[in-house]
Amino acid sequence: MDQTLFHLINERWTNPGLDLFMAAMSDIEIWKPLLIVIVLIALIFGSFKARACILCILLSLAIAAQLTGLLKSALDRHRPKQVQSVRMIELQKARPEFLTLFKKHTIRYSDQSDRNKSGPSFPSGHMANNTAIAVCLTLFYRRRGWLYWIITVAIGYSRIYLGAHWPSDVVATLFLAAGETLLILALLELIWRWATKKWAPAIFARHPSLVVDPIG
């Protein structure tokens, strides 16, 4: 079932418009300047809720990255392109990176040279990171935060579309990363309540909760 669904997404359910869209969704370098601007605006001009959300996202990403690395090494699952020939999309290099969206991309099939270029397949780093962000945004911003799940699902689908991960990698990582993030946020909440109550009672009086702040 895993391989059948993979080949449908990677080889059959494709078109030129999706090729560019999926490749762009998976390329963090294209979006990095925008993300940095959003983070800086939130930190400088945002409310307590916005700053707390950014803090939780950054800490969750840092911790999740370590867990992802450990699991990749321990499980050492091969990527699709490491065990068979898969359809791949390559964006042309450009500076700044977003200009690559205006250059013609190329389609090719993986070969022996691709088998040692990437690390293990599970868990998916892209999916783990974006699931962590989606969980944080959902807890902090409720219905508006849920919108980020659309991006998370699109990125997860793009990893299969581009031949980087099996469908089971993406689905399992979603549940794994969601659980990890909830545990991390619960720990941060406990630390916040203990530390601020003890060392910063004035702040604690205004913001007794880090993740669910009634004042915002």
Q: Identify whether the C-beta of residue 108 lies closer than 8 Å to the C-beta of residue 154.
A: no
Q: How far is CA 188 from the centre of its chain?
A: 20
What pLDDT shows up at residue 215? 45
Identity of residue 65: A
What are the helix (H) ranges across the chain? 2-7, 16-26, 28-45, 48-75, 80-83, 125-145, 148-161, 167-199, 201-206
Band (213; pLDDT cuts 50, 70, 90): low
Tens of pLDDT, residue by residue over 116-164, are 777 899 999 999 999 999 999 999 998 889 999 999 999 999 999 999 9
Domain spans of the chain, in order of start: 2-206
Give me the residue label for tokens 């604690």: 204
Among residues 163, 192, 31, 20, the alpha carbon closest in space to that of 98 is found at 31
Using CA atoms, how far apart are residues 124 and 192, in angstroms rounded to an integer?
30
Nearby residues of 70 by Cβ (< 8 Å), 6 or more positions away: none
Tens of pLDDT, residue by residue over 61-111, are 999 999 999 999 999 999 998 889 999 998 888 888 888 888 888 899 988
Using CA atoms, how far apart are residues 27 and 19, in angstroms rounded to an integer?
13
Q: Model's pTM, two decimal places?
A: 0.93
Number of Cβ atoms within 10 Å of the Cβ of 85: 14
Query: 107 forms bridges with which residues in the sheet?
Result: 89
What pLDDT shows up at residue 214? 46
Domain 2-206 has CATH 2.60.40: no
Among residues 130, 128, 155, the alpha carbon closest in space to that of 64 is found at 128
Identity of residue 197: K
Three-class SS of residue 113? Answer: helix
Residue 167 CA: distances (Å) to CA of 54, 63, 89, 100, 200: 29, 24, 18, 27, 47
Q: Identify whether the C-beta of residue 78 lies closer than 8 Å to the C-beta of residue 119.
A: no
Using the predicted structure, report yes or no on whether residue 200 has a pLDDT greater than 60.
yes
